[in-house]
Amino acid sequence: MVARVGRRGLLGGAAALSTGLWFPRGGRAATAMDFDEARHLLSRITFGATPAEIGALEGQDYAVSVDRLLASIRQSALTPAPDWLNEGPAELRRRQQAAQAESKTGIDGKKLDVVRPVEQQGRELRNWWVEEMLATDRPFTERMVLFWHNHFTSSFLKVRYAPALFRQNALFRREAVGNFATLLREVARDPGMLIYLDGMRNVARQPNENFARELLELFTLGEGHYGEADIKAAARAFTGWSIDRETGHFVNREQAHDGGRKTFLGQTGNFGGDEIIGILLKHPRTAETIVEKLWREFVSLTPDRGAIGSLAASFRRDYEIRPLMRAILLSAGFRDPASRGALIKSPIDLIVGSVRLLGLPVPEKTQLVRMLQGLGQVPFDPPNVKGWAGGESWISTYTLLLRQQFMRRMVEATTVAPMESGMTMADRPNRRADRKQQLAASESMQMAEPRPVEGRSLRNAGGEARLGPTLSGLGSPLLLRTLLARPPINAIDPSLSPGGVVALAMLDTAYQLK
Amino acid sequence: MSRILLLVELRGGNDGLNTLVPYADARYRELRPRLAVARDHVLQLDERVGLNHKLEPLMEAWKAGDLAIVQGVGYPYPNRSHFRSIEIWDTASASNQTLSEGWIAQAFRGTTFAKGAGVDSIVIDTNALPSTGPELRTIVMQDAEAFLRQAQGIKSPAGMSDNGNPALRHLLAVRQEINAAAQGLSDRLRAAPAPAESYGQDLFFGRQLDLATRVLTAKVPVVAIKTALGGFDTHANQAPVHERLLAFLATSLATLRRNLIVANLWSDVVVMTYSEFGRRAKQNASAGTDHGAAAPVLVMGGSVKGGLHGAYPSLSDLQDGDLRHVVDFRSVFATVAQGCWGLSRDFGLRQPQRLGFLG
């Protein structure tokens, strides 16, 4: 029997489950969430919410839950920082040159590969963040950090100094839902940004306009709200902001600063960088730019002019991000059931989310980074200063095919031998305590490389398929409601085994939506 | 008459002044004391301008009369934002106008052509804007074999509905494109031979041209193929980076030319480079150059009328430090639309300039 699973038909099935994960139904406040709304909230602000995570919110008061999520920011990462964090650029350059000098010529006349410290640190940096996204118990933090990374972009390909990008990531973490004015002022002094947009080369004798242009075009006002003369004036105002070559930290070189008069957006004075930022923060476009972008990221690709205008007006008063995020998540636009499944998952949503949801062990993050690269979203490597365009541009004929292929690979990898030999992922609620266990598990995994067991994959293992603890013991209807934001495009037979249902759901086009 | 356009986007803003060098103009060296290409590193094309010596591999095409260089291409009120300016080029819009449809798609608006292989335009790159539009079926791919293998997994179910959800509508439309294209492409591409001469693999552009060559030799009936070479945004220490890119570009295009001559296809293809803008005439303090305006466009092919077209912008009459354009890029597009596809288009210009590089 093949039947398209309807939304209403699922409710009874969910209530009948006795997994112990669900809260009692009685005594709910009027604003209590049902399973689908809880799923919607988590799918937009976390990665790959599990039935347990959704169940924990079901029946809870919506506004109270939002407040709790907004208060759950982890200001410093769970994953230990790489050990090169305090290496200065000068020292790193010396090591890089030494490595290059050591590289030998092979018998074919080509230079043999050597480990170059700059690239090595870059790899470790990307892996570090992907690991944090997988390991964190506060995925909302990572979503916000990713948002700021995509707003104030810096690319490792240009910066080539991982410690600065690590510290920039720490800044986004600290101000994830903090204050935008603070964030903007700090970003302007951020060494990663000073390298990425050539601020460190911006000197009175010959100003470099790169940072000033993107500050106006992308970080605050947006195209059409300033002129070329404003860019030149702003570039002069920021002259002298640079980095110390030994420590890699911010330094203000007074002798390189142009202290002369500038006219910027109609105001004249002997402006420095902070005065320029002050003027930009007073401009109504700045708040609108941020709110428009948050709306597109968290709510819908279709801007609601009225809602955005009033959110921006409040935001501009103090630039506090937390109340803004609260207002967005409580907005009618966000809560409208028609918004469910109306956004396309980013590659990070898709890959990180699926790994979390399946509870897949991932000893080696490089492989995930490679998947993200194919799909067009490598952390610390945005395609250009505008960041990832997102939305519909995530899906082209090329990336849609690749997404399907990666999902197939994950589905095949879900019942690999190591899992059958009793290795399990940590339960979600105690992730922190279980991290050690997880690490130990990953070490053993590296020796026994996970390889699909023929005939035993999630898709075709039938009743024997073993789902990870995140999904095990649940019936097909609830699995579908967890995995998909809307009914599947290709009907899924609910009488299939749970493993088969999960496999088909992940390969369905609707799985690309959130 | 129908020719296939092979677009090469030079991403980041290619420095036109160090590509086609006005070596005889003393102002050039004054503006660029550190960056000017030394006179003995210029391949002189006439008594005023010459190519950067890293473009030497293109001289074969130049001598054969297959290489046209359109000088001073740009547009009025130049925008110096990468994103905005490439959008202006890709959609053939005016500086103050925002269009969403690509210029190739616009050219084919209202035309009907034989729906053969299920695909009209192949983009071997991430930016598909020039051929984005309802009139063209565009496929974005990076590897033909992978594309065909993966497409087998996507089957079209009957009666799909998007329920008014625009994200889902987009997903379903992309699925349809894949299905249609895969049906038309698979047999042809499988039968396509490897290029006679292989391409350099240092940069991804080499692999793009390899696939482009296979599409062409397989006679897939497309109107356009797009590729891109990135890295031209040379704000600092420009010379080594820029020279490496020019050398790779020239070597790859020379290989392409020889491959297509061997395949007897060189007269059926028009290769055109373009970039969002040229760079500031004056060098900056970091031995690089900032975003500028007008720059040359290279056009190659067996049916191209080689030589210099347009005119070199004056170095003593700059506009905000940038070269003033002499040829509007939309005139170049109009010439290509006529010469490649026999379509008379003005791309919003009241009177497109007649450029003689394509008969």
Taking only the tens place, the pLDDT of each residue in B158-213 is 556 777 889 999 999 888 888 777 777 877 887 888 899 999 999 999 999 999 99
Closest CA to A288 of A220, A230, A374: A220
For B4-341, which CATH class?
A: alpha beta
- Report the distance separating Cα A506 and Cα A483, nearest Å: 7
User: Of how many residues is chain A composed?
Assistant: 514
pLDDT of A268 over the 80 cut:
yes
Instruction: List the single best residue of B97, B98, B286 to mutate versus A (max A Cβ within 10 A).
Output: B286
User: Are A400 and B178 a contacting pair at CB < 8 A?
Assistant: yes
CB pairs under 8 A between A and B: 114
pLDDT at B115: 53
**DSSP result, B273-304:** EE-S--B-SS--TTSS--B---EEEEEE-TTB
- How confident is residue A407, by pLDDT bands cut at 50, 70 and 90? confident
Span of A207-216, A271-280, A501-510 with lowest mean pLDDT = A501-510
In chain A, which residues have their Cβ closer than 8 Å to the Cβ of B81? 213, 217, 223
pLDDT at A23: 40
pLDDT of A451 over the 60 cut:
no
**DSSP result, B68-110:** EEEEEEE-SS----HHHHHHHHHHT--TT----S-HHHHHTTT
Look at residue B193 and give its three-state secondary structure: coil
At A251, give phi and psi (nearest 5°). Answer: -145, 140
pLDDT digits (tens, 9 = 90+) for A325-348: 999 999 999 999 999 999 999 999
The per-residue pLDDT of chain A, averaged, comes to 84
User: Of how many residues is chain B composed?
Assistant: 359
- How confident is residue A470, by pLDDT bands cut at 50, 70 and 90? confident
pLDDT of B337 over the 60 cut:
yes
User: Are A509 and B235 a contacting pair at CB < 8 A?
Assistant: no
pLDDT at B19: 98
pLDDT digits (tens, 9 = 90+) for A83-121: 999 999 999 999 999 988 887 776 666 666 678 899 999
CB contact set of A395 (below 8 Å; sequence gap of 6+): A344, A403, A512, B170, B171, B174
In chain B, which residues have their Cβ closer than 8 Å to the Cβ of A401? 146-147, 150-151, 153-154, 178
Span of A249-253, A442-446, A481-485 with lowest mean pLDDT = A442-446
Question: For the stretch A415-451, what's the b/e string if a residue is b when 16 or more beta carbons lie within 10 angstroms of its beta carbon?
Answer: bbebbeeebbbbebeebeebeeebeebbeebeeeebe
- A450 vs A68, more confident: A68
Instruction: Decide: A154 and A193 in contact? Cβ < 8 Å.
Output: yes
Q: Letter for the amino acid at A117?
A: P
- A474 vs A205, more confident: A205
- How confident is residue A372, by pLDDT bands cut at 50, 70 and 90? very high
Residue A175: count other Cβ atoms within 10 Å of its Cβ: 22
In chain B, which residues have their Cβ closer than 8 Å to the Cβ of A338? 164-165
Q: Please tell me if residue A203 touches chain B, with a CB cutoff of 8 Å.
A: yes
Give the mean model confidence (pLDDT) for residues A223-250.
96
Percentage of chain A beyond pLDDT 70 is 82
Nearest to B128 among A205, A396, A402 (CB): A396
- Report the distance separating Cα B143 and Cα B346, nearest Å: 35
User: Are B147 and A401 a contacting pair at CB < 8 A?
Assistant: yes
- How confident is residue B331, by pLDDT bands cut at 50, 70 and 90? very high
Beta bridge partners of B224: B5, B121
Q: How far is A154 from chain B (nearest CA, A)?
A: 15
pLDDT digits (tens, 9 = 90+) for B259-279: 999 999 999 999 999 999 999
pLDDT digits (tens, 9 = 90+) for B124-155: 987 888 998 777 888 888 777 777 777 776 66
pLDDT at A464: 44
Instruction: Decide: B341 and B107 in contact? Cβ < 8 Å.
Output: yes
pLDDT of A387 over the 70 cut:
yes
Distance of CA A133 to the CA centre of its chain: 8
Q: How far is A207 from chain B (nearest CA, A)?
A: 8
pLDDT of A461 over the 50 cut:
no
Interface confidence, given as ipTM, is 0.81
pLDDT digits (tens, 9 = 90+) for B282-312: 999 999 999 999 999 999 999 999 999 999 9
pLDDT at B170: 92
pLDDT of A6 over the 70 cut:
no
In chain B, which residues have their Cβ closer than 8 Å to the Cβ of A336? none
| Tokens 């030999």, located at residue | A421
pLDDT at A442: 36
Nearest to A404 among B147, B153, B172 (CB): B153
pLDDT of A149 over the 70 cut:
yes
- A208 vs A438, more confident: A208
Beta bridge partners of B67: B300
Q: How far is A397 from chain B (nearest CA, A)?
A: 6
Q: Domain ranges in chain B?
A: 4-341
pLDDT at B99: 80
Percentage of chain B beyond pLDDT 90 is 72
Closest CA to A513 of B127, B169, B161, B159: B169
- Report the distance separating Cα A507 and Cα A494, nearest Å: 15
Q: How far is B160 from chain A (nearest CA, A)?
A: 7
In chain B, which residues have their Cβ closer than 8 Å to the Cβ of A396? 126, 128, 140, 174
pLDDT at A109: 66
B121: enclosing H helix or E strand: strand B121-123
pLDDT at A411: 78
pLDDT at A114: 77
- How confident is residue A418, by pLDDT bands cut at 50, 70 and 90? very low
Q: How far is A287 from chain B (nearest CA, A)?
A: 21
Instruction: Decide: A231 and A202 in contact? Cβ < 8 Å.
Output: no
pLDDT digits (tens, 9 = 90+) for B12-29: 999 999 999 999 999 999
User: Are B174 and A228 a contacting pair at CB < 8 A?
Assistant: no
Distance of CA A165 to the CA centre of its chain: 15
Instruction: Decide: B296 and B105 in contact? Cβ < 8 Å.
Output: no
Give the mean model confidence (pLDDT) for residues A466-495.
86
- A113 vs A73, more confident: A73
Instruction: List the single best residue of A202, A401, A507 to mutate versus B (max B Cβ within 10 A).
Output: A401
Which residue in chain A has the smallest CA separation from B174? A397
pLDDT of A209 over the 90 cut:
yes
pLDDT of A374 over the 70 cut:
yes
